[in-house]
Chains A and B, each alone.
Chain A
Amino acid sequence: MTLTSGIRSRPIYTALRPDLPGRFHLLAGQGSGGEALLRLLRLLPTLSEAAEIRVIYARESVSGRDFSELLRSHCGTNLSVVSTQAEAVAVLDRALSGCVMGTRLYVAGSESFIGSIAKVASAFNMNADEVQYEHCGSRARRVYCVHCKMSNENVTTNIVKCADCGRHLLVRDHYSRRLGAFMGVMADAETPGALPPIVEVFK
């Protein structure tokens, strides 16, 4: 119950690189992830070389970094800039419904953003060989309270007080792709009130 390290269910993130057998490249980034998108765009063939590219960027960011201007100067009309992660998810959903086989999806941003985007991709039956994820910026986690089923956003500490049920949750490394979140389990069930030191570990 108290293991918090060495757990393998966590996704593996890699630096985004062009997957060129792909014919259509859809890039989705959030906050600091904009930098990864720019790096990728420099490596992808330009539009004139028959690879179509579309970029979706959410400015919502814990770190405050906004790459929308740089992306605009690079992408022109193939860029959609939105304010929040939720809007990015909605734009991506519409975009994917018009996409065809041969599409590649590249995602860069916080773990929560990646988790939300991964769910949309999965709804279109995009598999691991069609999607890449690069983790950028804050390591803050979305934590799912297994007791009251509430998701707590942007958790940076090893213990978090659930916003819904008020229990102190131990933030585990066990990750659910379906929920896009890490597991939170009551930290002091056996000895109420006796919590380990609360430390900021996911910055």
Chain B
Amino acid sequence: MAITFKPDETFRGDFSFRNSPEAIRRFPFPFTADKFQYSVNIEPHTAGPRGSCCEFPIDIDEHYVAECRERAWCLATTSQRYLALPHMAQAQWDVLELIMSSLARDYPEHFHLERRGTRWNWVNRPLGIENRFTFGDAKTLPYEPLEYITRQAQGDWCVLDQRDGTLWLDAGMVTTQADWSLDFDLGMNFNEWHGPVPLAAELGVFDRALKFLMNLQLTHPVRRFNWTMTIHPRLDTSPEEYPRWGPDRTIVTRENAGDLAHLRVELQALWRLPRSNAIVFSIRCYLISLSELVTVPEWGRRMHRVLKGLHPALVEYKGLRRIRDTVVDWLSSYDAE
């Protein structure tokens, strides 16, 4: 099933990103109730319905080429967005294998992987890339393996070492984040990097999640969904770039909220890695403008109610303080109740 890519979409400047009707149809709307509450909400990362964003373990959609270009731009113009501590070298190869084998298996019209022992040949047709390289020998690739392959994948990728009874954020490619810094968080353990998240610690949510992840097994990946809102379809909402995107929060009005305010959903998936025993954590970002979202009537209604009833600490933590009332106001006309 070939995808029609939209290579010239932008996630900055003129923000030409738009979702096709198909992209709207398969958007992972995250709310299952009219009120949002934290939960561990981890579920097996098994195949979802045909055409859904969970049909395959690693999802490629119409925005693929544009997102890869955006990542390349981000890496060229900002610093410390890709970092890897030396002891994660083997884990990098595990991630390269995971992404290459998934894409080649699930999108054979776009990707091809040939393996002869350690001599691999990788073809990425949408990006026009072909590389013959030796698996395990970083000198045979133009970048370190983790950087090389994540430049060709949508979403952020974090690699976690498991030791001393917890997980450590020891490598990552992070250019599409919702306001956290890889540079700052690199080297932190599970409790530390979750430090800023309110409420959940008191509920014991993190202890249960960590215990579960420590026992994550090969071939049994898990997933969960996270959400926030972004003004403009801007992927790079890093703290580093906050001076650039922060002011956007003040320009949302009752008139432009539909086009400017976007629901941002993260499909987070975690895999155990074979050779390194590390864990890779992917954060795949889906954006939809409110105008696009309300074309699905039940989404418009639910979004209105969730935002209206959101706990104040969550409003604050998700950065919604300035826009919440305006957005709720805009959505109210799509909720007859």
Residues of A within 8 A of B (CB): 1-3, 6-10, 127-128, 144, 146-147, 149, 167, 172-179, 183, 185-186, 189-192
Q: Which residues of A contact B164 (CB under 8 A)?
A: 127-128
Which of B188, B246, B321 is the one whose CB lies under 8 Å from A189?
B246
Query: In the complex the two chains form, is B196's CB within 8 Å of A9's CB?
Result: yes
Would you list 23 pairs from A and B whose C-beta atoms are within 8 A, ordered by A residue? A1-B242, A1-B319, A2-B316, A3-B198, A7-B196, A8-B191, A9-B188, A9-B191, A9-B192, A146-B183, A146-B239, A147-B243, A174-B196, A176-B184, A176-B185, A176-B188, A177-B188, A178-B188, A186-B246, A189-B243, A189-B246, A189-B247, A190-B250
Q: How large is the interface on B (under 10, 10 to 19, 20 to 34, 35 or more residues)?
A: 20 to 34
| Cβ of B107 to closest chain A Cβ, rounded Å | 36
Please report the C-alpha to C-alpha distance between residue A149 and residue B240 in the assembled complex, in whole angstroms.
Answer: 9
Answer whether residue B30 sits at the interface, using C-beta atoms and an 8 A cutoff. no
Query: In the complex the two chains form, is A9's CB within 8 Å of B243's CB?
Result: no
Please encode chain B, from 65 to 90, with 1 for each CB lying within 8 Å of some chain A CB and 0 for all others.
00000000000000110000000000
Please report the C-alpha to C-alpha distance between residue A7 and residue B316 in the assembled complex, in whole angstroms.
Answer: 14
Which of A9, A172, A173, A178 is the one whose CB lies under 8 Å from B186?
A178
| Cβ of B318 to closest chain A Cβ, rounded Å | 9
Give chain B interface residues in 285-334, CB to chain A under 8 Å. Answer: 316-317, 319, 321-322
A contact patch SS: loop
Answer whether residue B181 sits at the interface, using C-beta atoms and an 8 A cutoff. yes
Q: Which residues of B contact A174 (CB under 8 A)?
A: 184, 195-196
Query: In the complex the two chains form, is B243's CB within 8 Å of A8's CB?
Result: no
Q: Which residues of B contact A1 (CB under 8 A)?
A: 179, 242, 319
Query: In the complex the two chains form, is A3's CB within 8 Å of B184's CB?
Result: no
Query: In the complex the two chains form, is A3's CB within 8 Å of B186's CB?
Result: no
Q: Which residues of A contact B181 (CB under 8 A)?
A: 146, 183
Query: In the complex the two chains form, is A167's CB within 8 Å of B243's CB?
Result: yes
Additional pairs, 11, CB under 8 Å, beyond known A146-B242, A147-B239: A8-B201, A9-B191, A9-B192, A9-B196, A147-B242, A149-B80, A174-B184, A174-B196, A177-B192, A189-B243, A191-B250
Please report the C-alpha to C-alpha distance between residue A10 and residue B194 in the assembled complex, in whole angstroms.
Answer: 11
Which of A3, A9, A149, A191 is the one whose CB lies under 8 Å from B317?
A3
| Cβ of B234 to closest chain A Cβ, rounded Å | 14
Give chain B interface residues in 164-190, CB to chain A under 8 Å. Answer: 164, 179, 181, 183-188
Answer whether residue B193 sits at the interface, using C-beta atoms and an 8 A cutoff. yes
**Most chain B CB atoms below 10 A, which of A9, A186, A192:** A9
Q: Which residues of B contact A173 (CB under 8 A)?
A: 195
Please report the C-alpha to C-alpha distance between residue A187 and residue B201 in the assembled complex, in whole angstroms.
Answer: 26
How many A-B residue pairs have C-beta atoms within 8 angstroms? Tell me.
79
Query: In the complex the two chains form, is B239's CB within 8 Å of A185's CB?
Result: yes
Please encode chain B, from 237 to 249, with 1 for each CB lying within 8 Å of some chain A CB and 0 for all others.
0011011001101
| Cβ of B317 to closest chain A Cβ, rounded Å | 7
Q: Which residues of A contact B319 (CB under 8 A)?
A: 1
With both beta carbons as reference points, the residue of chain A lying nearest to B244 in the complex is identified as A189
Q: Which residues of A contact B187 (CB under 8 A)?
A: 176-178
Q: Which residues of A contact B194 (CB under 8 A)?
A: 8
Please report the C-alpha to C-alpha distance between residue A172 and residue B191 in the assembled complex, in whole angstroms.
Answer: 17
| Cβ of A110 to closest chain B Cβ, rounded Å | 20
Which of A3, A176, A191, A192 is the one whose CB lies under 8 Å from B316?
A3
Please report the C-alpha to C-alpha distance between residue A82 and residue B201 in the assembled complex, in whole angstroms.
Answer: 42
Query: In the complex the two chains form, is B239's CB within 8 Å of A183's CB?
Result: yes
Please report the C-alpha to C-alpha distance between residue A185 and residue B321 in the assembled complex, in whole angstroms.
Answer: 17
Q: Which residues of A contact B195 (CB under 8 A)?
A: 7-10, 173-175
Query: In the complex the two chains form, is B247's CB within 8 Å of A147's CB?
Result: no
Give chain B interface residues in 140-179, CB to chain A under 8 Å. Answer: 164, 179
Please report the C-alpha to C-alpha distance between residue A178 and residue B170 in the assembled complex, in whole angstroms.
Answer: 11
| Cβ of A82 to closest chain B Cβ, rounded Å | 27
Please report the C-alpha to C-alpha distance between residue A177 and residue B85 in the assembled complex, in whole angstroms.
Answer: 14
Please report the C-alpha to C-alpha distance between residue A128 and residue B164 in the assembled complex, in whole angstroms.
Answer: 9
With both beta carbons as reference points, the residue of chain B lying nearest to A173 in the complex is identified as B195
Query: In the complex the two chains form, is A179's CB within 8 Å of B184's CB?
Result: yes
**Most chain A CB atoms below 10 A, which of B184, B242, B246:** B184
Q: Which residues of A contact B196 (CB under 8 A)?
A: 3, 7, 9, 172, 174
Please report the C-alpha to C-alpha distance between residue A185 and residue B184 in the assembled complex, in whole angstroms.
Answer: 11
Q: Which residues of A contact B185 (CB under 8 A)?
A: 176
A190-B192 contact given A146-B181, A146-B184, CB 8 Å threshold: no
Give chain B interface residues in 194-209, CB to chain A under 8 Å. Answer: 194-196, 198, 201
Query: In the complex the two chains form, is A190's CB within 8 Å of B79's CB?
Result: no
With both beta carbons as reference points, the residue of chain B lying nearest to A129 in the complex is identified as B164
Please report the C-alpha to C-alpha distance between residue A151 and residue B164 in the assembled complex, in whole angstroms.
Answer: 29
Query: In the complex the two chains form, is B184's CB within 8 Å of A190's CB?
Result: no
**Most chain A CB atoms below 10 A, which of B79, B183, B185, B239:** B239
Q: Which residues of A contact B322 (CB under 8 A)?
A: 190
With both beta carbons as reference points, the residue of chain A lying nearest to B245 in the complex is identified as A189
